[in-house]
Amino acid sequence: MYSIKAVSQATGLSIETLRAWERRYNIVTPDRDANGRRSYRPEDVIRLRKLREATGAGHAISKLSRLSEAELGHLLPTPEPGGALRAASRNFAGQIIAAAEAYAPDQCDQAIAMALALLPVHEVVNQVLSPLLVVVGERWQAGTFTIGQERLITSAIRKQVSSVLDTYNRVADGPTILLTTVANERHELGILLCALIGASHGLRCQYLGPDLPAADIALLADKIGAAVVGLSFALQADPAPPLRELCDVAARLPAAVDLWIGGAGLRQFPAHALPTRCRSLPDLQDFERHVEALIGQRG
């Protein structure tokens, strides 16, 4: 939940404009505490940011206030990456690192939430969070980050991304994709970022967290009518157990369900040992291309 000051900073709308839009058009309905102070949800911030962009393009707020999220999204141009966007991404990543250095979890949460509210999802995933996780890993290996600082960042990413993922899923109308990791694979942030990408494109993303047995993956995929199961693999000292789990999932899945696999651990699997039904996606950009293709096929 965010204060009106934080929402003003995240959206570029003045506090006076936020109050006026709420009063005149019922744009969003923030919660209020006993003293009347407003608290905004993540989905409120996303909607307000879209409205600010649309009014900046010349659309009247009186008309925009009646539009659904999908209708509002159609009015907005696809953002082009540029120097300003890259600079903003670096700034957010720097804020998150600085918050961890200062052992300030609230600041870490706020920086990630603001990045998710202000930047396109593609930009947040590929230019903020993915590079950030590499830097955190390198600092931990070098001894310049404690385990506590690493956990501070990863837990904040998990919390903020899960919140935004839930917001997207409430309005998703695309095919269903189930995302998880196999039994004893506990590295979940990569597959969580995949879920965020998929949801931002309108997929119904059923994210199950890490460490799920093959039988449960296959059963749930069947029960919810998943079009795709996505699995992520980290590097392992012994890649044989996760490979066996992957083969078990592939053998159990209904024939109509596609199986997408990714993560650094793929490099450890011999190509000839992979089930033939697997589609290997080396990076997040490749995952996003397959998401777009899936939506196109079923649109």
* DSSP letter assigned to residue 155: H
- Under CATH, what is the fold of the domain 4-75? Multidrug-efflux Transporter Regulator; Chain: A; Domain 2 (1.10.1660)
Q: Give the CA angle between residues 52, 55, 57 to the nearest 5°.
A: 110
Within 13 Å and on the Cβ side, how many CA atoms surround 204?
Answer: 11
Instruction: Please give the pLDDT value at position 285.
Output: 93
Domain ranges of the chain: 4-75, 83-166, 172-298
Residue 4: the pLDDT is 86
Residue 2: the pLDDT is: 74
Q: Which residues contact 55 (CB under 8 A, 6 or more apart)?
A: 61, 64
10-residue averages of pLDDT along the chain (299 residues): 76 88 89 87 80 86 85 69 63 90 91 84 92 93 94 95 89 94 95 96 95 97 97 95 97 96 95 95 94 83
- Residue pair 190/158 in contact by the 8 Å Cβ criterion: no
CATH-assigned architecture of domain 172-298: 3-Layer(aba) Sandwich (3.40)
Query: CA 162 to CA 178: how far, in whole Å?
Result: 15
Whole-angstrom Cα distance, residue 229 to residue 245? 14
Determine the Cα–Cα distance for residues 40 and 26; give it in Å rounded to an integer: 13
| DSSP state letter for 182 | B
**pLDDT value at residue 29:** 86
User: Between the CA atoms of 132, 170, 85 and 112, what dihedral angle is there, to the nearest 10 degrees?
Assistant: -40
Which pair of tokens denotes residue 167? 């917001």
- The amino acid at residue 19 is R
**Residue 85 confidence (pLDDT):** 61
What's the pLDDT score for residue 297?
80
Cβ(247)–Cβ(268) below 8 Å: no
Strands (E), the chain: 31-32, 38-39, 176-180, 204-207, 228-232, 258-262, 278-281
Predicted pLDDT at 114: 81
The span from the CA of 163 to the CA of 179, in Å, is 16
* Dist. CA 56–CA 76, nearest whole Å: 10
Residues 6 or more apart from 167 whose CB is under 8 A from it? 41, 42, 43, 46
If one looks up domain 83-166 in CATH, what number appears?
1.10.1240.10
Report which secondary-structure segment, H or E, holds 38.
strand 38-39
